[in-house]
Amino acid sequence: MKKALSVVLAAAMCLSLAGCGGGNKSEAPAAPAGGEKAADAAGSGDAAPADDYHLVLKLSHVFAPEEQLTKTMDSICNNIKERTNGAIEIQHFPQGQLATYKDGVEQVVRGAEFISVEDPSYLGDYVPDFNILAGPMLVKSFEEYEYLLESDEVKEMFKAAEDKGIKILNMDFIFGFRSMMTNKVINTPEDMKGLKIRTPGSQLYVDTLNHMGATATPLAFSETISAVQQGVVDGLEGTIDAYATNGSAEVAKNMALTKHLLGVCGAYISVDVWNKIPAEYQEIIQEEFNNGAVQMVKNISEGEAATREKLEKEMGITFNEVDSEAFAKTVEPIYANMKNVTPGRYERFKEIIAEMPQ
């Protein structure tokens, strides 16, 4: 009898422990979905376990599939997915498939899980000094621009962008200087008069072309080639890389090397989205965007001469130099008329460039 009673008590004790959760996994509370759990963990300062985290970001820009920036972004997205074992998945949408230009940056500011790849001038609505950094004929080489990026003044601007909700992953995706693509040889600002030239929707681009003597005509790029063919516009402006890949060479047979703007993009993500990503993944993302920018500048620098030769031999494109000094004078008033910029910042940028070691 005593032995039977002991067995009963032992069984009861086991049931009691099971009821308290002591090893009964089926009754453990369900964990929230990966993104939600990671957000909670990051918000509390603790990185979510890698196995439980998954974030899908959409990356958008207007560049064509064969342009170097598109290839660079493909590489960055693939590397990040591989290095994070799929925890960070960046879906890449080139050629304006999703929001671009001003609309793309607005997606970032609103906190969307989105990376906008755009010219720095599109940050000018939030931090006006970015209009100076992206301004016409500010720099004469890739190296001058990169030197500016390391200055205290530009670092202050990056911090100001973060205060507006925009984390700049990198702003050194250089794709070349922008020049005029028409069917007319342009040497001086006088030659620009009466020409309607397609530009992106950036106000800085519009102001630059108007000051240079043309009539700036903002158009979506998807409409541009047909607009040139039909005479709606007389040409467009862009880089040598774009000239060779986006169809421009089919409709515009001369490039006047005005080099009026440096073609460069930054990659921007919401500060709120960024702060919810575990630190180990932030480090990988940042490394890949930095490495991608370095490689892209190298590819553009090394490939531009070959691209120009190909355009001349295979597409019948001609190139001509211009009176750069005359064009530089036409765009000077743009800086004087920029609204809400830091007084003296343009002059300081010029000083920094002049101080750059040769």
In residues, how long is the chain? 358
Per-residue confidence (pLDDT) for residue 8, from 0 to 100: 36
Query: Could you please report the per-residue DSSP string of 339-355?
Result: SSPPTTHHHHHHHHHHH
pLDDT-derived band at 29, boundaries 50, 70, 90 = very low
Per-residue confidence (pLDDT) for residue 7, from 0 to 100: 37
Please tell me the distance from the alpha carbon of residue 89 to that of residue 80, in angstroms, as a whole number: 7
Please tell me the distance from the alpha carbon of residue 153 to that of residue 156, in angstroms, as a whole number: 5
How many angstroms separate the Cα of 26 from the Cα of each of 18, 29, 94? 11, 8, 45
Residues 165, 108: contact at Cβ < 8 Å?
Answer: yes
Average the pLDDT over 200-213 and give the result: 93
Helix (H) or strand (E) holding 255: strand 254-270
Q: What is the pLDDT of residues 46-75, one digit of tens each?
A: 444 456 899 999 999 999 899 999 999 999
Entry pTM: 0.81
Amino acid at 92: H
Per-residue confidence (pLDDT) for residue 202, from 0 to 100: 84
Tokens coding 67: 């342009």
The DSSP call for residue 176 is E
Q: What is the pLDDT of residues 156-197, one digit of tens each?
A: 999 999 999 999 999 999 999 999 999 999 999 999 999 999
Please tell me the distance from the alpha carbon of residue 301 to that of residue 172, in angstroms, as a whole number: 13
Residues 6 or more apart in contact with residue 67 via CB below 8 angstroms: 175, 241, 242, 245, 246
Per-residue confidence (pLDDT) for residue 337, from 0 to 100: 93
List beta partners, residue 236: 181, 198
Per-residue confidence (pLDDT) for residue 51, from 0 to 100: 67
Tokens coding 313: 């031999």
Of 29-43, 195-209, 223-237, least confident by mean pLDDT is 29-43
Nearest to 33, CA basis, from 50, 54, 57: 54
Q: Is 34's pLDDT higher than 70?
A: no
Sign of CA dihedral 203, 205, 211, 213: negative
Output the 3-class SS for 145-174: HHHHHCCHHHHHHHHHHHHCCEEEEEEEEE
Average the pLDDT over 84-112 and give the result: 97
Amino acid at 102: K
Mean pLDDT over each residue of the chain, to the nearest integer: 88
Phi, psi of 4, deg, nearest 5: -65, -40
Residues 353, 143: contact at Cβ < 8 Å?
Answer: no
Average the pLDDT over 257-280 and give the result: 97
Backbone conformation region of residue 174, classed left if phi is above 0, alpha if psi is from -120 to 50, else beta: beta
Tokens coding 317: 């494109």
Second CATH level (architecture) for the domain 51-355: 3-Layer(aba) Sandwich (3.40)
Per-residue confidence (pLDDT) for residue 50, from 0 to 100: 54
User: Hey, which bits of 28-160 come out as E strands?
Assistant: 55-60, 88-93, 114-118
**Cβ neighbour number for residue 242 with a 10 Å cutoff:** 26
Q: Is 289's pLDDT higher than 80?
A: yes
**Cβ neighbour number for residue 31 with a 10 Å cutoff:** 10
Please tell me the distance from the alpha carbon of residue 114 to that of residue 272, in angstroms, as a whole number: 11
Per-residue confidence (pLDDT) for residue 27, from 0 to 100: 31
Per-residue confidence (pLDDT) for residue 201, from 0 to 100: 83
Tokens coding 291: 């490495």
pLDDT-derived band at 319, boundaries 50, 70, 90 = very high
Q: What is the pLDDT of residues 121-158, one digit of tens each?
A: 999 999 999 999 999 999 999 999 999 999 999 999 99
Q: Which residue pairs, CB below 8 angstroms and at least 24 apart, start in 153-161?
A: 153/129, 153/345, 153/348, 153/349, 153/352, 157/127, 157/129, 157/130, 157/133, 160/127, 160/129, 161/123, 161/126, 161/127, 161/130, 161/268
The DSSP call for residue 31 is P
